Amino acid sequence: MKSPSNTKSSTRSPVLVHVTTVPGALRVLRGQLAHMREQGYEVHAVSSPEPLLEEIGQSDQIQIQPLTMAREIAPFRDLVSLCKLILLFLRLKPDVVHSHTPKAGMLAMIAAFVTRVPVRVYHIRGLRFVTALGFKRKLLKTCEWIACRLAHRVLCVSRSVRQVAIEEQIVSAQRIQVLLRGSHGIDAEGFFHPDRLPTQTRSATRQQWSIPEEATVIGFVGRLVRDKGISEFYEAFQLLKDDYPQLHYLIVGFFEEGDPLPGGLREKLEQESRIHLTGKQFNTPPLFAAMDVLCLPTYREGLPFVTLEAAAMELPIVATDIPGCIDAVENEVTGLLVEVANGPALSDGLAAYLSSPLFRREHGAAGRERVLRDFRPFDMWRATDAMYREMMGARKISIQLQDNVSANSVITGKPEQPPVTSAAA
């Protein structure tokens, strides 16, 4: 007969560790982290030390583990980070390591493999190598291949990016899946609900950034780097500004010194009186409220959450017809998809909305309806929890958690919300 102490140790709370290169990547997991804690997991978030990491730890009431990781390739610093991850995993003894972003994805999967973590999940949120060239492309692609190879299961945020990963041979079709719609969900009933903002938010935000009340505002939210299509965004402004004298740009994001914009473009943006730069902002709903259209002329994406957030705020979207964007924007229903790296095509798409407030309202309303239907956070939280349980169960890990619906029914989706793909590891 087993002693009480042995019985107690045989069932315990599983240790779940999420790893990202920078805390900004954890923002899409807010709410889900708290949900896992409430289900009985001991949840840790590992990322580079920034105030946002502490904020997420406090808001979701989880444990944080600051650990510096370089976003760019830095062999010596990466080796130091890897050694620290190995030591951390030896101390925490995680049952599940779930890594995100290319650098953290590779380092965490290596560390989890070395320390024999029983459940290893790598989450592809975009493929950085697709816009790189030469040796850098090969190196970035190899990093992705290593992360996928060492993971027990690879998740992807969209169907189209999953297909690219398979075609580029970084992972087999049998080992990569998309849970439900891929997104961790949008809080369209709360944070991104336009009716929950004060009635004066639109005018107050415009006043804050010196935008006339009668202006038609095209918005952008994201990092101000080449791969986000900022050159084409500026080109479209030059093509449109004379025909639409009420046109203004509201650009929300920050310049990256390590990835500067080409040819004096930053100075041109800063000097244009009808282009308004806010810098990095985390409270985006008031900024969405000041916009009439959101534009994302990006070259590469995984699944652009900003387009879903804007859609929840009833904004129509103009984005590029690339993997990731084609999953987030339903062309000619919730927005318009245009050719990538084509300033005139982008200009034409924006002009369609500048010319018709009714067109904007129709697509904005359709976008919010789609987000409410297909991108509910709780559905994804339950599906992810069910996946963890199924993987731990397959590895005979004795755990103690709150009751949940069957793993299979959640992972494969409900009748009214079928999965995007059911490929399993």
Q: What is the pLDDT averaged over residues 267-274? A: 98
Q: What is the pLDDT averaged over residues 77-101? A: 98
Beta bridge partners of 295: 318
| Whole-number CA gyration radius for the chain | 22
pLDDT band at 79 (very low <50, low <70, confident <90, very high): very high
Q: In this predicted model, what pLDDT tens digit does every residue of 42-71 receive, in sequence order?
A: 999 999 999 999 999 999 999 999 999 998
What does the block give as tokens for 144?
A: 């992705």
pLDDT band at 420 (very low <50, low <70, confident <90, very high): very low
Which pLDDT score, from 0 to 100, does residue 258 have?
75
What does the block give as tokens for 205?
A: 């935000």
Assess whether pLDDT exceeds 70 at residue 414: no
DSSP structure string for 380-425:
HHHHHHHHHHHHHHHTT--B-----S-HHHHHT-BTTB--S-----
Q: In this predicted model, what pLDDT tens digit does every residue of 351-382 receive, in sequence order?
A: 999 999 999 999 999 999 999 999 999 999 99
Instruction: Compute the distance between CA of residue 371 and CA of residue 243 in angstroms, rounded to an integer.
Output: 33
Please enumerate in sequence order all residues whose Cβ is within 8 A of that of 232, keeping only pairs 6 or more positions apart, or say none. 297, 341, 342, 343, 346
Instruction: Compute the distance between CA of residue 261 and CA of residue 43 in angstroms, rounded to an integer.
Output: 38
Instruction: Compute the distance between CA of residue 217 and CA of residue 199 in angstroms, rounded to an integer.
Output: 18
Pairing, β 216-221 against β 247-252? parallel
**CATH superfamily placement of domain 8-185+376-411:** Glycogen Phosphorylase B; (3.40.50.2000)
Q: What is the pLDDT averaged over residues 153-180? A: 98
Residue 356: helix, strand or coil by DSSP?
A: coil
Q: What is the pTM of this model?
A: 0.89
Assess whether pLDDT exceeds 70 at residue 6: no
Assess whether pLDDT exceeds 90 at residue 415: no
Assess whether pLDDT exceeds 80 at residue 92: yes
Question: Counting Cβ atoms within 10 Å, is residue 135 exposed (0-12), middle (13-18) or buried (19+)?
Answer: exposed
Which pLDDT score, from 0 to 100, does residue 109 have?
99
**Percentage of the residues of the chain whose pLDDT score is greater than 70:** 92
Write down the CATH number for the domain with range 194-374: 3.40.50.2000
Closest CA to 141 of 127, 153, 155: 127
Are 218 and 248 in contact by the 8 Å Cβ rule? The answer is yes
Beta bridge partners of 46: 19, 65
Burial call 292-323: b when 16+ CB within 10 Å, e when fewer: bbbbbbbbbbbbbbbbbbbbbbbbbbbbbebb
Query: In CATH terms, are 8-185+376-411 and 194-374 the same topology?
Result: yes
Are 311 and 336 in contact by the 8 Å Cβ rule? The answer is no
Residue bearing the bigger pLDDT, 402 or 109: 109
Assess whether pLDDT exceeds 70 at residue 7: no
Domain boundaries, the chain: 8-185+376-411, 194-374
Quickly tell me which residue has 């990322």 as its tokens.
Answer: 47
Q: Where does residue 221 fall: left (phi above 0), alpha (psi -120 to 50 degrees), or beta otherwise?
A: beta
Q: What is the pLDDT averaged over residues 269-277? A: 98
Quickly tell me which residue has 């995993």 as its tokens.
Answer: 89
Assess whether pLDDT exceeds 90 at residue 175: yes
Assess whether pLDDT exceeds 80 at residue 423: no
pLDDT band at 342 (very low <50, low <70, confident <90, very high): very high
Q: What is the pLDDT averaged over residues 272-296? A: 98
Please enumerate in sequence order all residues whose Cβ is within 8 A of that of 349, keeping only pairs 6 or more positions apart, or say none. 318, 336, 337, 338
What does the block give as tokens for 214?
A: 């009668």
Assess whether pLDDT exceeds 80 at residue 303: yes
Question: Counting Cβ atoms within 10 Å, is residue 93 exposed (0-12), middle (13-18) or buried (19+)?
Answer: exposed
Average per-residue pLDDT for the chain? 92
Least confident stretch, 150-159, 254-263, 339-348: 254-263
What does the block give as tokens for 110?
A: 């290596």
**Percentage of the residues of the chain whose pLDDT score is greater than 90:** 87
Cβ count within 10 A of residue 2: 9
Assess whether pLDDT exceeds 50 at residue 1: no
Assess whether pLDDT exceeds 50 at residue 97: yes
Q: Tell me 261's DSSP state.
A: P
Closest CA to 318 of 352, 281, 276, 280: 352
Q: How far is CA 168 from CA 120, 140, 387, in A?
A: 22, 12, 26
Instruction: Compute the distance between CA of residue 154 and CA of residue 162 in angstroms, rounded to an integer.
Output: 10
Assess whether pLDDT exceeds 70 at residue 10: no
Q: What is the pLDDT averaged over residues 75-80? A: 96
Please enumerate in sequence order all residues whose Cβ is within 8 A of that of 197, keeping only pairs 6 or more positions apart, or say none. 285, 286, 289
Assess whether pLDDT exceeds 70 at residue 413: no
Which pLDDT score, from 0 to 100, does residue 407 have?
40
Which pLDDT score, from 0 to 100, does residue 72 have?
86
Q: What is the pLDDT averaged over residues 284-311? A: 98
Closest CA to 307 of 337, 286, 278, 339: 337
pLDDT band at 230 (very low <50, low <70, confident <90, very high): very high
Which pLDDT score, from 0 to 100, does residue 402 have?
78
Are 61 and 43 in contact by the 8 Å Cβ rule? The answer is no
Q: Tell me 185's DSSP state.
A: -
**Amino acid in the structure at residue 15:** V
